[in-house]
Amino acid sequence: MTVLVTGSTVRPETPLDTGRVELRDVGLSYFSPKQETEALRNVSFSVAPGEFIAIVGPSGCGKSTFLSLIAGLIKPTSGSVTIDGAPVRGPSRRVGYMLQRDHLFEWRTVLSNLRLGAEVQGLDKAAATDRALSMLARYGLGGFENHYPNELSGGMRQRVALIRTLVTQPDILLLDEPFSALDFQTRLALADEMAEILDDQETGKKTIVLVTHDISEAISMADRVLVLSGRPGQVKSEHSFGLHTGGRRRPFEVRSSPEFNDCFKVLWKELDVHIDG
Amino acid sequence: MSTSTVDHLAGGTATPLDAASTGNVRSRGYRDYLRNRRRTRAGVIAAQVLVLAAVLAFWQVGADVRLWDPLLTSTPTTIWSTFWKLSAQGSLWTNTAVTLEETLVSFAVAMVAGVVIATAIWWSPFLSRVLDPYLVMGNAMPKTALGPIFFIWLGSQLSVYGMAISISLIVTILTVTTGFVGVDPDKVKLMRTFGANRRQILVKAVLPGSLPTLLSAVRVNIGLTLVGVIVGEFLSSKAGLGYMILYGGQIFDLSQVMTAIVMLVVMSAVLYAVLVGVESLVRRRWRVA
């Protein structure tokens, strides 16, 4: 496998060349005075630059742990996690992490929330504000910059949370069940809107890792789906369904395509076998 | 209290006029509801005034007809005249000012020190575990027992501050630490994903996120501090409302004791009202629900 090495401080001008994530023989154990819990065992996979993968698996199999590993929030007990060949040593500007719930700070306006990452990382304030405002305008939230989070609907809040992640211009995006806190209709609508945002050429194409327990969400959004087994989590199988054609993701259309049900059945079976076993 | 009654009644009669003038159409049921609400409220206030008036009248008349010795209870009218006498002498105001100053200073010191120590405890889990048993013990022990020690160590004036601070400090530390730890761990995780250091997490997420707890600590503390100040003045001081009360008791001047107590009640009510005002401003500014 060719590993592209680039200095992590250099902002990539050609995004497609960077953003390769690689996990090699990763094991992770949690320790408590009474016991040792093995969460992951011998996990290896890689995500190509610009690729969108989804990780599905039974609850408690350590799906979100992958995101924490890639984000540098925790260190693997064994094995290595690398981004473009460089080992992950801690949180990096190149990685954006979107949590399950929006966690917008109630005491900050929408715009001020969007600047949070830039403030923490010491990025140029004016440029960050420009990016935030232009994304708000493009993604249907123009005019809301001075509102407070409690004045927004759940779907709007989640879009603001996505923009907050994008303002710092990461080239790898980690999504931890970003729709799970929303009702079904909002979820479908937001998946389409988010796909559009993620495919937006102006923000640049990104490597995306989506963690979800929702099979249809995984199929409708990702290029490739990884199925995990239960604890200790291992990669059970990989599926590239190739339902996304023409360069743009349209989750809602994919859901109603004839092939969708077959894909769903394949994944369902994979997961089901494990639940029974 | 009587002025607030007038306000309520005036507000009550003004409401229907407002509705008529703005052309708001209200259903019969809603109007009945509002009228009932107003009546209940007026009733409560009237009863409160009545209770106060009855107690004062009983107090006055009972002493006047010698149901008991007025020397033991004083009377509302004597307190009234004592108030004006002491007020004219200036001693009432100097003593009130002394107590107020001691309270505000102790309150500020306890709040600042409490938040600083709570921050240190939040910062270092090791320190938190080391201090835990001492904080629990310190919280459980009656701080007033330390009075004589403060007197010996700090002298008659400073010991008042020592007493007041010791009473409110540990509660502040415990409340604020609980508030810090109670901030949603995912908010901290979010900060970490941006690469935030501990100081940024504290300033941008934890401090503003625990504002409700800080505000409740403030409200509890003003009362506790006042208790500490009065106890401190009882033990040692040469001025202040606590001193006035103790001295009045020693020379058997119940009118002075009562006057000082009334002053104390007014002072704590005013302090509380000011804090509630500040709190609602802060809540609006920081969008605390």
What span, in angstroms and rounded, lies between the C-alpha atoms of A212 and A214? 5
Name residues 173-192 of chain B within 8 A of A (Cβ): 184, 186-187, 189-192
> Of the candidates B68, B94, B121, which is a domain's last residue?
B68
Residue A13 has pLDDT above 70, yes or no: no
Hey, CA dihedral for A64, A67, A71, A77, is it positive or negative?
Answer: positive
Residue A10 has pLDDT above 50, yes or no: no
Nearby residues of B185 by Cβ (< 8 Å), 6 or more positions away: none
Q: How confident is the model over B215-263, as pLDDT tens digits?
A: 888 888 999 999 999 999 998 878 899 999 999 999 998 999 999 999 9
- Residue B60 forms part of a structural domain: yes
- What is the DSSP code (8-state) at residue B143? G
Same domain for B130 and B196, yes or no, is yes
> Of the candidates B10, B35, B68, which is a domain's last residue?
B68
CATH code (residue B145): 1.10.3720.10
From chain B, pick out residues whose CB is under 8 angstroms from the CB of A96.
193
Chain A closest CA to B264's CA: distance in Å?
37
Quick one: closest CA in A to B205, which residue? A105
Contact status of A181 with chain B (Cβ, < 8 Å): no
- Residue B75 forms part of a structural domain: no
Report the complex ipTM. 0.84
pLDDT for res B42:
95
Chain A closest CA to B177's CA: distance in Å?
20
Q: What's the whole-number average pLDDT of chain A?
A: 81
From chain B, pick out residues whose CB is under 8 angstroms from the CB of A148.
287
pLDDT bracket for residue A253 (50, 70, 90): confident
Same domain for B8 and B37, yes or no, is yes
Contact status of B196 with chain A (Cβ, < 8 Å): yes
Of residues B1 and B93, the one with the higher pLDDT is B93
Residue among B183, B188, B193, B204 with most chain A CBs within 10 A, to mutate: B193
Give chain B's domain count.
2
Q: Which of A30-44, A230-244, B216-230 has the lowest mean pLDDT?
A: A230-244
Q: Quick one: which of B34, B29, B36, B40 has its CA closest to B16?
A: B34
- What is the DSSP code (8-state) at residue A203? T
Which residue has 């005491």 as its token pair?
A107
From chain B, pick out residues whose CB is under 8 angstroms from the CB of A97.
190, 193
Same domain for B150 and B223, yes or no, is yes
pLDDT for res B18:
47
Contact status of B212 with chain A (Cβ, < 8 Å): no
What are the backbone dihedrals phi and psi of residue A39, each rounded to the nearest 5 degrees, phi first?
-90, -40
- Residue B163 forms part of a structural domain: yes
Residue A277 has pLDDT above 70, yes or no: no
pLDDT bracket for residue A17 (50, 70, 90): low
Q: How confident is the model over A157-174, as pLDDT tens digits?
A: 988 998 999 898 888 889
Beta strands in A89-147 (DSSP E): 95-98
- Residue B133 forms part of a structural domain: yes
pLDDT for res A274:
47
CATH fold for domain A49-76+90-94+172-277: Rossmann fold (3.40.50)
Beta strands in B78-219 (DSSP E): none
pLDDT for res B289:
65
From chain A, pick out residues whose CB is under 8 angstroms from the CB of B190.
97, 99, 103
Contact status of B193 with chain A (Cβ, < 8 Å): yes
Same domain for B64 and B90, yes or no, is no
Residue B267 has pLDDT above 90, yes or no: yes
pLDDT for res A201:
61
Mean pLDDT over B63-79 rounds to: 91
pLDDT for res B16:
46
Of residues A194 and B172, the one with the higher pLDDT is B172
Same domain for B274 and B238, yes or no, is yes
Check if the beta carbon of residue A113 is closer than 8 Å to that of residue A149. Answer: yes
Q: Which of A100-104, A182-186, B22-26, B133-137 has the lowest mean pLDDT?
A: B22-26
Same domain for B41 and B115, yes or no, is no
Q: B226 lies in which domain range?
A: 84-286
Residue B174 has pLDDT above 90, yes or no: yes
Residues of chain A with CATH 3.40.50.300: 49-76+90-94+172-277
Same domain for B222 and B151, yes or no, is yes
pLDDT bracket for residue A12 (50, 70, 90): very low
Of B187, B192, B211, which has the smallest distance from its Cβ to A73's Cβ? B192
Check if the beta carbon of residue A52 is closer than 8 Å to that of residue A222. Answer: yes
What span, in angstroms and rounded, lies between the C-alpha atoms of A211 and A175? 6
Residue A273 has pLDDT above 70, yes or no: no
Same domain for B112 and B44, yes or no, is no
Quick one: closest CA in B to A98, which residue? B190
Residue A247 has pLDDT above 80, yes or no: no
Inter-chain touch A105–B187, beta carbons under 8 Å: yes
- Residue B77 forms part of a structural domain: no
- Residue B37 forms part of a structural domain: yes
Quick one: closest CA in B to A150, which residue? B287
- Residue B76 forms part of a structural domain: no
> Of the candidates B43, B68, B93, which is a domain's last residue?
B68
Inter-chain touch A91–B204, beta carbons under 8 Å: no
Residue among B186, B187, B194, B281 with most chain A CBs within 10 A, to mutate: B194
Contact status of A236 with chain B (Cβ, < 8 Å): no
Cα distances (angstroms) measured from residue A259 to each of A96, A191, A267, A269, B162: 32, 19, 13, 16, 77
pLDDT for res A246:
59
Contact status of A276 with chain B (Cβ, < 8 Å): no
pLDDT exceeding 90 applies to what percent of chain A?
16
What span, in angstroms and rounded, lies between the C-alpha atoms of B287 and A91? 30
Q: Quick one: which of B141, B203, B148, B204 has its CA closest to B169?
A: B141
Q: How confident is the model over B186-198, as pLDDT tens digits?
A: 999 999 999 999 9
Contact status of A119 with chain B (Cβ, < 8 Å): yes
pLDDT bracket for residue A237 (50, 70, 90): confident
A-B contacts at Cβ under 8 angstroms: 54
Q: How confident is the model over B33-65, as pLDDT tens digits?
A: 999 999 999 999 999 999 999 999 999 999 999
What span, in angstroms and rounded, lies between the C-alpha atoms of B124 and B122? 6
This prediction's pTM: 0.80
Residue A11 has pLDDT above 70, yes or no: no
Of A92, A99, A150, which has the smallest distance from its Cβ to B190's Cβ? A99
Q: What's the whole-number average pLDDT of chain B?
A: 88
Contact status of B8 with chain A (Cβ, < 8 Å): no
Name residues 262-281 of chain B within 8 A of A (Cβ): none
Q: Which of A186-190, B18-22, B163-167 has the lowest mean pLDDT?
A: B18-22
Q: Quick one: which of B242, B238, B93 has its CA closest to B164?
A: B242
From chain B, pick out residues whose CB is under 8 angstroms from the CB of A95.
193
Mean pLDDT over B107-118 rounds to: 95
